[in-house]
Structure 1
Amino acid sequence: MPLFFLSYARIPGSRRTGDDPDRLVFDFYEELAGLVAAHAGVERTAAGFVDRQGTRGEESVRALSGCRVFVPLYSKRYFTDPVCGRQWTAITRRALRTRAPRTVPVLWTPYPAASVPAAVQDVPEVPAEQEGPDDEEESYAAMGLHQLLDLEEGRARRITEWLALRIASAAATVPAGSAPGSLDRTALARLPDAFAAAPPRPPLRITVLAPYEDRLPIGREAARYGPGPLDWRPYGPVAGGPIAEQVTELARNLGFAPEVVEFDKVDLRGRDTPAAPWILVVDPWALGDPGTAARAKEFDDAHRPWTAVLTALADNDPQTKEHFDRLRGLVESVFPRSLREGRVGEQTAVRGLATADAFALWFGELAESANMRYLRYIQPQSSPRNTTAVKPPGVGVDEPGTDGGALEARP
């Protein structure tokens, strides 16, 4: 495996001998590879790799998967090249798993700061200025290595030597053969472009239906509640903060922009086009209040396809265990449509989830499912090609005997 992999954005143009627009890239690579080999004490052929015209794709992917140092040539073009973006994804994913390879970026041509994608954190360093008649270091910082190489042969020698030393030093910190990636050419082509502009995150509306300290059902202990409904902690302190904080984090991890509100503050009668998929998180203790139960049933009766209901029936709550049958009965009487029309997983979530892990799992599944239904609902009828959405894994799968952690019997 090579010590370093040189990543660059190809310039469109003729590839005839002597007319290669990327000639300076290869000239730089040849000199850099020789210097790295000398510093690292390896054969020149083992020092580095650069993808040239005619290079077999398998050879390039193998070098990318096994290199110890990744050397990108930064330029405005580089940050718009999808091949470079996929290479960046492959390298960063591998680095997350193995802490290798290291990255030594090169300032190839100047670029505006606004052109740098959010995925790019490494900034090209500039060597300290040396005494002497030349001002290579200052020129490198101002115009980039490409122009230095193009101005005069040998003008960028000191910068290249400095980069070679940094690459050799970085390579020495990575053990040989340290957990190379398992990419193949097809897998690389399927990787996302790390430089592509991320689409705006879709919103997700989350409503919490729960009592609070000043409005608890008679006899209900206050240990799992706070000053407001969003302070409710159905699974107790072992599960972390309030449920509102947990669902916010879960939604963000799924790529949504969550909006968490109290049940008493939502309009259940609105008939306008929905602005987002909607998740209702329910504490069955709140349904003992007739007014609250009536409003919750209104939510169920509205038949909004882009909604989902999750109920917390914690099995680590002694009071909930004691009143399990009554609480389950309240849920079934208030949400009959959701139970009747939902798939097995959705019915499980409505009837009650016993653990924080089960809640997190089904929250993710149903948030994705509600979003798919939302997207189908708002698609124009004139575009039938866009109305079929891909079902997320695990959503709507009818598996006999699976319950997702629901509390099925009184302990």
Structure 2
Amino acid sequence: MHDGRSARRVRSKAFYFFVSYAPAPVTSGDAEAEDLEPDKDVEEFHSDLIRAVAGLSGSLVPSSLGYLDATDRGGPDMARALQRSHCFVPLITPRYFTDGYCGRQWTAFETRSRRGTSIPVLWAPVPTTALPLPVDLDLPEPGRPVAPMQVEAEALRRYTEGGLYGLRQYPGGSDYYDQCVRRIAQCIVQAAHRTPEPAPGEAEFADLNVPDAFATASWHRLGIAVLAPDMNHLPPGRSDTKYGHEPRDWQPFSDGLSIPLVERTAELARNLGFAPEIRTYDEAEAVFLGRSDADSPWVLIIDPWILHDRGAVERLRNFDALDLPWVTVLTAFADDPQTLRARERLGELLESALPRRLSRGRAIQRWAVAGTGLDHSEAFNSRFVELADSAAQQYLNRPLRSSTSPSASADSQGDQEAQP
């Protein structure tokens, strides 16, 4: 048992590292109440990292080596630990860059008077277009003259593709995970040994009243457009249970969430680091037909029931003829029995409205449009994540409007879409 003096010595010593992490919010019955769910995988990683750092540093007090900030946020212990830690270890996930609290931690560490070392750790894959500031997502390496601890090539590959969380889930990947943890610990120990201890009179954070480093002004904009009927303009015989008073009220999936699909999609986009803007097809059509310059990539979400309207089919055919790769298309099939019975006919209507995308588009785009999938929220969300990033990359690489004629642009972009 420690006496009071030894306890004070432990508290006054700087932590080797501070793990910054964005926990997933969990809503309880009250829509206004939101708790933070402790992530057991993150807690186990924190413990594993402490053991690795202890082994490399020779410390006899492992509890003083690392601080995990996840669910107990904003208190004086957190502020003291952030001020006094040698290394800042953010666990990089898509959610991390949408968490203003993490953004303020980032700012506070980077701007404190005593220098420290940031060692980002990839926890889950993040699209490059979702990064609001430059972040090195490779497995960290110690600086010279220290030789990096050995990590197998397959471990490096899997770390790059799936992060540490992916390595933890990969069957037989425990050795790869351990190798990566030891490498991270090596970098922490080296950095900690190079960082001065806090001075006795060093000012400490009173709070995190600093700007969010991930302010939305630096996010990539993403347009989300919806083409769907409203309950007053349905095809003959179509049930109105999935619809509201305007197209953006459409809710194709019966998964217990009474939130329109486009709003749920916008929240998913924010989790990826985008700044989404919701529009109806009518509001965005000038961009889709080239009559107005695009200032962002787009995702167009279609309810195939709208294609019983021949006018809607012709409008989509005009859009499809341009084949703009920075506008990706997702078709969501409602999960009601009526839609299930009509799948074949709805697929035929899609082929009529979007012939280029279904014949010459990339495989990922064809699958997202055709009448063979995206009939539940998990499949839709997964495909949206892939296509939103693809649209952003295509937007950044798009040819300038003045550099080519519309017909030449359509042909060259169509050829790009045809690549596997």
TM-score, normalised by the number of residues in structure 2: 0.51
Tell me which structure has the larger Cα radius of gyration: 1
Superposition deviation, residue 350 in structure 1: 0.6
Report what 1:221 is aligned to: 239
The equivalent position to 2:105 in structure 1, one of 94, 97, 120, is 120
- Spell out, residue by residue over 1:136-158, the C-alpha distance to the aligned partner (whole angstroms, 9 max, x if none): xxxxxxxxxx9xxxxxxxxxxxx
The answer to whether the Cα contact below 8 Å between 1:209 and 1:286 also exists between their aligned partners in 2 is yes
- Spell out, residue by residue over 1:70-105, the C-alpha distance to the aligned partner (whole angstroms, 9 max, x if none): 63475xxx9xxxx96x51636x99xx9xxxxxxxxx
Report what 1:274 is aligned to: 294
- Spell out, residue by residue over 1:263-317, the C-alpha distance to the aligned partner (whole angstroms, 9 max, x if none): 1222143355421111110000001101011111111111212011100123x31
Report what 1:354 is aligned to: 375
Q: Distance in 2 between matches of 1:37 and 1:47?
A: 14
Report what 1:243 is aligned to: 261
Report what 1:141 is aligned to: none
Superposition deviation, residue 341 in structure 1: 2.8
Matched residue SS, 1:259: strand
- Spell out, residue by residue over 1:341-396, the C-alpha distance to the aligned partner (whole angstroms, 9 max, x if none): 322222111114121110011011100111111111168999xxxxxxxxxxxx99
Given the superposition, is the C-alpha separation of residues 305 and 184 from structure 1 closer, same or farther in structure 2, using an over 3 Å criterion?
same
- Spell out, residue by residue over 1:1-52, the C-alpha distance to the aligned partner (whole angstroms, 9 max, x if none): xxxxxxxxxxxxxxxxxxxxxxxxxxxxxxxxxxx9642756968983467x
Matched residue SS, 2:104: coil
CA RMSD of aligned residues (A): 4.8
Matched residue SS, 2:256: helix
| Equivalence map 1:85-124=2 (5 Å) | 87=88, 89=90, 118-120=103-105
Q: Distance in 1 between matches of 2:64 and 2:7?
A: 19
- Spell out, residue by residue over 1:94-141, the C-alpha distance to the aligned partner (whole angstroms, 9 max, x if none): xx9xxxxxxxxxxxxxxxxxxx99423999xxxxxxxxxxxxxxxxxx
The equivalent position to 1:318 in structure 2, one of 330, 337, 354, is 337
Given the superposition, is the C-alpha separation of residues 264 and 272 from structure 1 closer, same or farther in structure 2, using an over 3 Å criterion?
closer
Q: Distance in 2 between matches of 1:278 and 1:66?
A: 42
Q: Does 1:39 align with 2:14?
A: no
Report what 1:128 is aligned to: none
Structure 1 letter corresponding to 2:263 = E
Superposition deviation, residue 240 in structure 1: 3.8
Matched residue SS, 2:269: helix
Structure 1 letter corresponding to 2:240 = A
The answer to whether the Cα contact below 8 Å between 1:280 and 1:310 also exists between their aligned partners in 2 is yes
Where structure 1 has 5 or more consecutive residues not aligned to the other structure, the ranges are 1-35, 97-115, 124-145, 147-180, 383-394, 399-411
Q: Distance in 2 between matches of 1:211 and 1:203?
A: 26
Q: Distance in 1 between matches of 2:282 and 2:253?
A: 22
User: How many pairs align?
Assistant: 260
The answer to whether the Cα contact below 8 Å between 2:106 and 2:213 also exists between their aligned partners in 1 is no
Structure 2 letter corresponding to 1:296 = L
Given the superposition, is the C-alpha separation of residues 56 and 65 from structure 1 closer, same or farther in structure 2, using an over 3 Å criterion?
closer
Q: Distance in 2 between matches of 1:362 and 1:188?
A: 40
Structure 2 letter corresponding to 1:59 = S
The answer to whether the Cα contact below 8 Å between 1:345 and 1:396 also exists between their aligned partners in 2 is no
The answer to whether the Cα contact below 8 Å between 2:231 and 2:243 also exists between their aligned partners in 1 is yes
- Determine what percentage of the aligned residue pairs are the same residue: 33
Q: Distance in 2 between matches of 1:64 and 1:397?
A: 53
Q: Does 1:335 align with 2:374?
A: no
The answer to whether the Cα contact below 8 Å between 1:87 and 1:188 also exists between their aligned partners in 2 is no
Where structure 2 has 5 or more consecutive residues not aligned to the other structure, the ranges are 17-52, 69-76, 109-113, 115-179, 192-210, 404-416
Q: Distance in 2 between matches of 1:228 and 1:335?
A: 24
Q: Distance in 1 between matches of 2:351 and 2:4?
A: 73
